[in-house]
Amino acid sequence: MASPNKPGDDERVPFMQRLLDNPFLLLFLGVASPAVLYTIWGIMEIIQIPIAK
Amino acid sequence: MATVSEFRICPTTGLKVHSAAEKLIKANAVVAVVFLAIGGLFGLMVALTRWQAVHLLPADWFYLALTAHGFDVLLAWIIFFEIAVLYFASAILLNCRLAAPKVAWAAFWLMLIGALVANVAVLQGGSSVMFTSYVPMKAAPHFYLGLILFAVGALLGVAVFFGTLVIAKEEKTYEGSLPLVTFGAVTAAIIAVYTIASGAIILIPTFLWSIGLVSHIDTLMYKLVWWGMGHSSQQINVSAHVAVWYAIAALVLGAKPISEKVSRLAFLFYILFLQLASAHHLLAEPGLSAEWKVFNTSYAMYLAVLGSMIHGMTVPGSIEAAQRARGFNNGLFQWLRKAPWGNPAFSGMFLSLVMFGFIGGISGVVLGTEQINVMMHNTLYVPGHFHGTVVAGTTLAFMAITYLLVPLIFRREVMFPKLAKIQPYLFGLGVLGISVFMMGAGTLGVARRHWDMNFADAALTFDYPPAAFLMMALNGLSAVMAATGGLIFIVVVVGSVLFGKKVEGKIDLTGGAAVAKYGSAGTLKIPGTAVLVAVFFTCFVLYYFVNWKYLSELWPLR
Amino acid sequence: MAIQPPESRLWWKEPVAKVELIWVIVAFLWGLVMFFMMIYWHAAGKQNISSEAYRVDPASYQKKAEELAEKYKTGERAGIPIVKPPAGSDIYLIARLWQWWPIFELEKGKAYRLHISSLDWQHGFSLQPVNINLQVHPGYDFVQTITPKDKGEYTIVCNEYCGIGHHQMTGKIMVVD
Ligand code: HEM
Ligand SMILES: [Cu+2]
Ligand SMILES: [Cu+2]
């Protein structure tokens, strides 16, 4: 439970915590990362396979 | 808005339980268990066929049974159960109503119909293409259609999960950040979105191809995108079963994460990098560059492995801290000896943790090493490895939490407690055998998905070494043990759900003694876990380099 | 507990216990070791799969393989030609339902550019008992430079499921001095 009256309560939430508390931003990152690094990069490589002489 | 009467207060945990969510959890979990029963039976038949002295099924039935086994356990059992886990981790743990129960029911029926259609297609005999259905081998159109319906249903279920998160936040049903278990479920759900999108991108054109509307599907492209689904769905499993480990440690022992920050960062590594490992399946493929293979197969420099290694310490670490706070403070391992080994929820969870790490995890990293893969690709080493992850890891973890869902959600007492007590050990030991012996046979070169290691009908014959036949016999015996453990699970769960004594009032999950407050970073003492982790690390390093040694003796290739 | 929201509002700022921190660092470094091991092996190791591949249509691939087989045929076994191509040359192996064709006779210690492609479905090239395993696609010519280390008779098992004859699909490579 979040205890309301601790010191530093009005302190800004650190960036990383805000990131981890935002499921939709994480959703975007979690789809974009493999889509670019695995799928799109992979498709580019397959497309570039040359034709046999 | 949901009215108050749609909720009950759980007398054990104090959580507000939304009745629509509860019904959906029950429905998904029950169907999951039914598919586990069916798929497990196929698995047993497959294993008994591969035991050359028994050689149970004829060839066509073997390939049919193997296709059905893959689909029913890997997709149907696991994903139905995962949908139940998602609803539990959102609606129940957040004290919230489930978003759009009607959509959730539509999801349920789509998945069920899809799974049944795919099963019918397989059982009709024209779709023994393995659940991977590599083109240009063609299955009946309704095989692909069943898979698509199943995937659409699963995607709706995931959407309901995200919707519930939004509602919980708006209606302020919890304070601060999401519980760690829910965060693990978020991780699983995020990976599920990419997984299902990949599936749709490849299965829809393949379906159109099967009915003649598309003329050609590129085989490499198919594999690339298909494994974006096939492997990522394994990563849903990992995230989900890690969340389940944390949940069981919390429910049974009152354990709390030793550091929220580190555990969540580990999940973040999963979100960002785990799915790249789909490349594990393309290491022996033509045309993809070494750069692509090395980067992706290593999950971007093993950052997702780092995530798993973190969970592998923080879960037992949190258990040790909780046990020590209870007073089990003697020596290195009293906390472990005095753990509730007779409680199948705990023993199942701990066995899952250990076997996932030592068997599934280590073998997976080795198998997924770019160069080492050439000694193992498509041998029985591969199914050996993933029975260590998805059966010893995920399935056992899901079985374990079922022992808690029965009293908490179905509100029935677990029947046959003596059988339930031994079940995780029996199943766990059997699965350990399946994994290790298939990996052993694979090291000796035995092919996976192969009906006859005697090559009796082949024009050019070949003999695998006798040790390989021994491995397959031991695999068969282990399969019998695992199947017995699986059967006991089904009997206990189905029996309890249908005929178990109704639970009234509070139940005792923790075996008494509430946990004292413990563990700020300065005072945390988990020496036992540190030793366990050191042992794990030593095994990992040794096994890793032993395989490089083997590789160095292979014929040169470039 | 892990099933409840974190106790402290700013959990990100909580310190991390020393054991945990050490483990995270060790695990991270180990990841780097494993990552650079693969790169190191590309530079110094002898067993690296090549990614050389070409798009090819099955009929013209078949033609190349048949021409080679005709030119260097030395015998026959179970109806399959035995072919002894010159060391160092390009050799073409066909995978098809349910056969590896032809049988090659190779010299120990000599490198060959082994081409593999399928004429129909996917197959799995699994050289036994050496245990080299490669995926074979139709429409792609996969090229490996391979150097047999020991003489003897080697079997190619198909280890990608390819229909009801999958378990009968075997081939041979003979390695001679
Ligand atoms: C009683 C329990 C089980 C037994 C005895 C068993 C046994 C086997 C055996 C012998 C194979 C065949 C290996 C081959 O010839 O290629 C296999 C394949 C497989 N098993 Fe299991 N298994 C069991 C449970 C499970 C579970 C619970 C899962 C998933 C959660 C699972 C997932 C798979 C998958 C995905 C395959 C690969 C199918 C394919 O190659 O297409 N198994 N299993
Ligand atoms: Cu084949
Ligand atoms: Cu085959």
pLDDT digits (tens, 9 = 90+) for C113-133: 999 999 999 999 999 999 999
Q: Per residue in B333-388, pLDDT tens?
A: 999 999 999 999 999 999 999 999 999 999 999 999 999 999 999 999 999 999 99
Is the pLDDT at B415 greater than 50, yes or no? Answer: yes
User: Minimal Cα distance from B270: which residue of A?
Assistant: A30
Domain assignment of residue B2, yes or no = no
pLDDT band at B119 (very low <50, low <70, confident <90, very high): very high
Tokens (6 digits) for B224: 């690339």
Burial of C139 (0-12, 13-18, 19+ CB in 10 A): buried
Domain assignment of residue B247, yes or no = yes
CATH number of the domain within which B348 lies: 1.20.210.10
- φ, ψ of residue B432 to 5 degrees: the values are -55, -45
Neighbouring chains of B at 3+ CB pairs under 8 Å are: A, C
pLDDT on residue C114: 97
Share of chain B above pLDDT 70, in %: 97
Distance from CA of A32 to the nearest CA of C (A): 23
- φ, ψ of residue B379 to 5 degrees: the values are -90, 175
Domain assignment of residue B163, yes or no = yes
In sequence order, the β-bridge partners of residue B8 are B17
- Residue B270 near residue B235 (C-beta atoms within 8 A): yes
CB contact under 8 A, A9 and C12: no
Please give the biggest Cα pair distance in chain C: 80
Distance between CA B353 and CA B320 in Å, rounded?
Answer: 14
Please provide the average confidence, as pLDDT, over all residues in chain C: 95
Domain assignment of residue B444, yes or no = yes
Domain assignment of residue B3, yes or no = no
Does the CB of B86 have a partner CB in chain A at under 8 Å? no
pLDDT band at B399 (very low <50, low <70, confident <90, very high): very high
Q: Which domain holds residue B153?
A: 8-506+520-554
Tokens (6 digits) for B74: 């890997």
Range B259-277 average pLDDT: 95
Residue for token pair 């009801």: C164
ipTM of the complex in this document: 0.96
- Closest C-alpha to ligand 1, atom 41: B130
- Return the H-helix or E-strand segment holding A15: helix A15-20
pLDDT on residue A1: 39
Q: Per residue in B8-56, pLDDT tens?
A: 888 888 888 999 999 999 999 999 999 999 999 999 999 999 999 999 9
Query: For residue B166, what are the CA distances in angstroms to A50, B91, B147, B162, B169?
Result: 49, 11, 29, 6, 5
E strands in chain C: 53-55, 73-77, 80-83, 90-96, 99-101, 103-107, 112-118, 123-128, 132-136, 140-146, 152-158, 170-176
Query: For residue C69, what are the CA distances in angstroms to C26, C76, C96, C103, C143?
Result: 55, 11, 16, 9, 18
Is the pLDDT at B102 greater than 60, yes or no? Answer: yes
Kindly give the distance from the C-alpha atom of residue B522 to the centroid of ligand 2, in angstroms, as a whole number: 60
Chain B contacts of A41, Cβ < 8 Å?
292, 296
- The set of residues, in sequence order, having a beta carbon less than 8 Å from that of C33 and lying 6+ positions away, is none
For helices B219-253 and B78-87, give the axis angle rounded to 10 degrees: 50
Is the pLDDT at B209 greater than 80, yes or no? Answer: yes
- Residue B131 near residue B121 (C-beta atoms within 8 A): no
Strand bridging mode C103-107 / C99-101: unpaired
Helices (H), chain C: 18-44, 58-72
Kindly give the distance from the C-alpha atom of residue B136 to the centroid of ligand 3, in angstroms, as a whole number: 13
Please provide the average confidence, as pLDDT, over all residues in chain B: 93
By Cβ distance, the residue of A1, A27, A37 closest to B193 is: A27
Q: Which residues of B452-483 are buried (b: 16+ CB within 10 A; e: fewer)?
A: bbebeebebebebeeebbebbbbbbbbbebbb
User: Minimal Cα distance from B517: which residue of C?
Assistant: C1
Q: Per residue in B247-258, pLDDT tens?
A: 999 999 988 888
Domain assignment of residue B285, yes or no = yes
The amino acid present at B86, given as its one-letter code, is: L
- Residue B412 near residue B406 (C-beta atoms within 8 A): yes
Distance between CA B305 and CA B291 in Å, rounded?
Answer: 19
Tokens (6 digits) for B21: 């969510």
Ligand having the closest approach to the CA of B396: 1
Is the pLDDT at B513 greater than 60, yes or no? Answer: no
Q: Collapsing DSSP states into helix, strand and coil, what is residue B140? A: coil
By Cβ distance, the residue of C8, C55, C61 closest to A49 is: C55
Q: Per residue in A9-48, pLDDT tens?
A: 567 899 999 999 999 999 999 999 999 999 999 999 999 9
Residue for token pair 């849903």: B236
Neighbouring chains of C at 3+ CB pairs under 8 Å are: A, B
pLDDT on residue C89: 95
Kindly give the distance from the C-alpha atom of residue C49 to the centroid of ligand 3, in angstroms, as a whole number: 21
Distance between CA B482 and CA B201 in Å, rounded?
Answer: 36
User: How distant is the alpha carbon of residue B220 from its chain centre?
Assistant: 27
- Residue C130 near residue B554 (C-beta atoms within 8 A): yes
Distance between CA B80 and CA B106 in Å, rounded?
Answer: 13
Domain tally, chain B: 1
Does the CB of B173 have a partner CB in chain C at under 8 Å? no
The amino acid present at B486, given as its one-letter code, is: G
pLDDT on residue B404: 94
Distance between CA B36 and CA C100 in Å, rounded?
Answer: 38
pLDDT band at C177 (very low <50, low <70, confident <90, very high): confident
User: Minimal Cα distance from C8: which residue of B?
Assistant: B176
Report angle CA B495, B496, B499 to the nearest 5 degrees: 75
Domain C52-176 has CATH 2.60.40.420: yes
Report angle CA B428, C24, A36 to the nearest 5 degrees: 85
Domain assignment of residue B514, yes or no = no
Range B68-89 average pLDDT: 95
pLDDT on residue B507: 80
Q: Which residues of A8-45 are buried (b: 16+ CB within 10 A; e: fewer)?
A: eeeeeeeeebeebbebeebbeebbebbbebbbebbeeb
Of the ranges B63-67, B204-208, B502-506, which one carries the lowest mean pLDDT score?
A: B502-506
Distance between CA C123 and CA C116 in Å, rounded?
Answer: 10
CA atoms within 13 A on the CB side of B356: 29
Q: Which of B133, B303, B367, B377 to mutate to test the interface with C (most CBs of C within 10 A)?
A: B377
- The set of residues, in sequence order, having a beta carbon less than 8 Å from that of B110 and lying 6+ positions away, is B149, B150, B152, B153, B156
Distance between CA B376 and CA B361 in Å, rounded?
Answer: 16
Kindly give the distance from the C-alpha atom of residue A23 to the centroid of ligand 3, in angstroms, as a whole number: 44
CB contact under 8 A, C13 and A6: no
Distance between CA B183 and CA B263 in Å, rounded?
Answer: 10
Give the other-Cβ count within 10 Å of B10's Cβ.
18
Share of chain B above pLDDT 90, in %: 89
User: Minimal Cα distance from C53: which residue of B?
Assistant: B287
Ligand having the closest approach to the CA of B75: 1
CA-CA-CA-CA torsion sign (B296, B374, C105, B454): negative
Chain A contacts of C60, Cβ < 8 Å?
52
Tokens (6 digits) for B8: 């009950």
Is the pLDDT at B418 greater than 90, yes or no? Answer: yes
Is the pLDDT at B210 greater than 60, yes or no? Answer: yes
- Residue B96 near residue B6 (C-beta atoms within 8 A): no
Give the other-Cβ count within 10 Å of B538's Cβ.
10
- Return the H-helix or E-strand segment holding B7: strand B7-9
pLDDT on residue B326: 86
Distance between CA B87 and CA B284 in Å, rounded?
Answer: 39
Does the CB of B174 have a partner CB in chain A at under 8 Å? no
- Residue B409 near residue B20 (C-beta atoms within 8 A): no
Burial of B145 (0-12, 13-18, 19+ CB in 10 A): buried
CB contact under 8 A, C9 and A49: no
Q: Which of A20, A22, A36 to mutate to test the interface with B (most CBs of B within 10 A)?
A: A20
Strand bridging mode B7-9 / B16-18: antiparallel
pLDDT on residue A9: 56
Domain ranges of chain C: 15-43, 52-176
Distance between CA B303 and CA B301 in Å, rounded?
Answer: 6
Of the ranges B335-349, B515-529, C5-19, C67-81, which one carries the lowest mean pLDDT score?
A: B515-529
Chain B contacts of C155, Cβ < 8 Å?
460, 462
Tokens (6 digits) for B479: 């399969």
List the shell of residues around ion ligand 3, using CB closer than 5 Å.
C 158, 162, 166
- Residue B359 near residue B436 (C-beta atoms within 8 A): yes
Q: Per residue in B132-184, pLDDT tens?
A: 999 999 999 999 999 999 999 999 999 999 999 999 999 999 989 999 999 99
Domain assignment of residue B121, yes or no = yes
By Cβ distance, the residue of B129, B377, B555 closest to C147 is: B555
Q: Per residue in B446-473, pLDDT tens?
A: 999 999 999 998 999 999 999 999 999 9
Distance between CA B383 and CA B390 in Å, rounded?
Answer: 10
